[in-house]
Amino acid sequence: MSTEQKVAEHYAFADMVGLIREGLEKIGKTPETVTSDDLAGMDEFHIGGRKATEEFLKQLGISAGMWVLDVGCGLGGACRVAAGEFSARVTGLDLTPGYIEAARALSQWLGFGDRIDFHVGSALDMPFADATFDVATMLHAGMNIPDKPKLATEVARVLKPGGKFGIYDVMRVGEGDLAYPVPWAATPETSALEEPETYKAALERAGFSVIHERNRREFAMAHFEGMIAKLKAAGGPPPLGQHKLMGSARPEMVKNMMANVRGGIIAPVEIIGQKG
């Protein structure tokens, strides 16, 4: 089994759309009445959720009519923010067929059917023509992509000259052994965690100039504290949340990720490159 097959299997859940429908029923909603806010707790599968997405996208200069590619789009939450709040045309790409099926359904329910399209595929061999997109994004997906140079080269290929590639990934920022499982990998075998320097070197070799870098450890810590407080106040997870898609191992995954961040081993980091 290839690395990409193992990664897709890690994220695969039977009938994701069915799980989401069950959650909707518990909050008294249907596909016809669901809102973006109803889904915010589950369709932004990265540290900081919707707030992180909005702050990240604002830095990329996205405007009406631009075409944005989201690499490793998951359920398409960031795609819908780019389309809804920035009036962009958006394409999402992900390895996991179940995520793409769910992303299409959620986008249709929320009225984005004609503004966002989704594809199953590899970030290392994308089914898009050269110089297609104005902006590319990747939120918490690079930890599953070992070949960072090939990733950067492929994104550069599909971006127009001057296009920006914004990365918001968990990266190694300190020494120490990582506690597993974590949300992106059950074992080190499918984890492609790297330091920011590795990302920047790959970007520069692919013809990007690095124009922004920001370590978001403090933001992550505040997010974790808020998440714990909400869970305690509610007496447990909400009907619609990421636990729906992470299975029984979620508590241990989240606990380990928080410990790894607190220990200074990892942190979410933003890096933005601009194609020369």
The torsion angles phi and psi of 141, rounded to 5 degrees, stand at -120, -30
Domains in the chain (CATH in brackets) are: 3-275 (3.40.50.150)
Q: What single string gives the DSSP state of each residue in 39-70?
A: HTTTS--STTHHHHHHHHHHTTT--TT-EEEE
Give the per-residue pLDDT at 12: 65
Provide the pLDDT for residue 94: 96
- Return the pLDDT at 251: 81
Sheet holding 159-172, edge to edge: 116-120, 89-94, 67-71, 133-139, 159-172, 266-275, 208-215
The pLDDT assigned to 41 comes to 79
Low-confidence ranges of the chain (pLDDT < 50): none
Residue 24: which residues within 8 A CB-CB, separation 6 or more? 30, 31, 34, 38, 239, 240
pLDDT of residue 243: 67
Is residue 214 within 8 A of residue 14, CB to CB? The reply is no
According to DSSP, the β-strands at 266-275 and 208-215 are antiparallel
- Taking a C-beta distance cutoff of 8 angstroms, is the pair 193, 140 a contact? no
Peptide bond into 181 cis (omega under 30): yes
- At 14 the pLDDT is 65
Q: In this structure, what token pair is assigned to residue 243?
A: 């636990």
